[in-house]
């Protein structure tokens, strides 16, 4: 009897972890997003991870592409399109997506934005203007 209780405890714990993980990847209601190239349903964690790889590949910080927030001091408004570098970044994302889709084997079930045969660092190597 004790083993069944332990088994059910383990199973319910796993179910709770899965449900919690799914809940954690949902997009916060009312949060402004301006995604034109990356998947609209991307989780905050995945978006942050991708953006961090762009920062590292170009040797820049977020303010290189994103505009200052109008009302919050020392903060950025990631939904604005005021900074022309943001559109340049989108062009580069489209370019790497096209290269990866057209010249490398990939799983068609994987969004093109998540392909990594060719990435920003392939050319940039820490320089925003290679």
Q: What is the pLDDT of residues 88-122, one digit of tens each?
A: 999 999 999 899 888 887 777 888 888 888 999 99
pTM higher than the cut 0.85: no
Predicted confidence (pLDDT) per residue in 4-29, tens digit: 444 544 444 444 444 444 333 343 44
Give residue 30's pLDDT band: very low, low, confident or very high (50, 70, 90). Answer: low
The whole-angstrom separation of Cα 123 and Cα 51 is 17
Higher pLDDT, 44 or 116: 44
Q: How many domains does the chain have?
A: 1
Mean of per-residue pLDDT scores for the chain: 81
Q: What are phi and psi of 66, to 5 degrees?
A: -100, 145
Assigned domain for 12 exists: no
Q: Which residue would you say has higher pLDDT here, 23 or 51? A: 51
Q: Is residue 76 part of a domain?
A: yes
> Is residue 58 domain-resident?
yes
CA 42 – CA 48 distance, rounded (Å): 10
- According to DSSP, residue 112 is labeled G
- Asked if residue 4 belongs to a domain, the reply is no
| Domain assignment present for 5 | no
Residue 88 inside a domain? The answer is yes
In a domain, 100, yes or no: yes
Which residue range is the domain that position 104 belongs to? 29-124
Q: Is residue 14 part of a domain?
A: no
Q: Using pLDDT thresholds of 50, 70 and 90, give the confidence band for residue 54.
A: very high
Residue 34's pLDDT band (cuts 50, 70, 90): very high
Task: Identify the DSSP state of 28.
Answer: P
């Amino acid at each position: 009897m004790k083993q069944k209780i332990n088994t059910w405890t383990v199973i319910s714990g796993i179910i709770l972890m899965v449900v919690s993980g799914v809940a954690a990847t949902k997009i916060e209601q009312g949060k402004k997003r301006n995604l034109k190239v990356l998947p609209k349903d991307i989780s905050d964690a995945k978006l942050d991870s991708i953006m961090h790889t762009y920062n590292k590949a170009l040797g820049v910080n977020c303010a290189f592409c994103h505009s200052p927030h109008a009302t919050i001091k020392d903060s950025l408004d990631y939904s604005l399109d005021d900074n022309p570098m943001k559109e340049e970044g989108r062009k580069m994302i489209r370019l790497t997506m096209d290269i990866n889709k057209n010249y490398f084997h990939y799983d068609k079930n994987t969004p093109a934005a998540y392909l990594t045969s060719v990435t920003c660092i392939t050319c940039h190597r820490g320089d925003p203007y290679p």
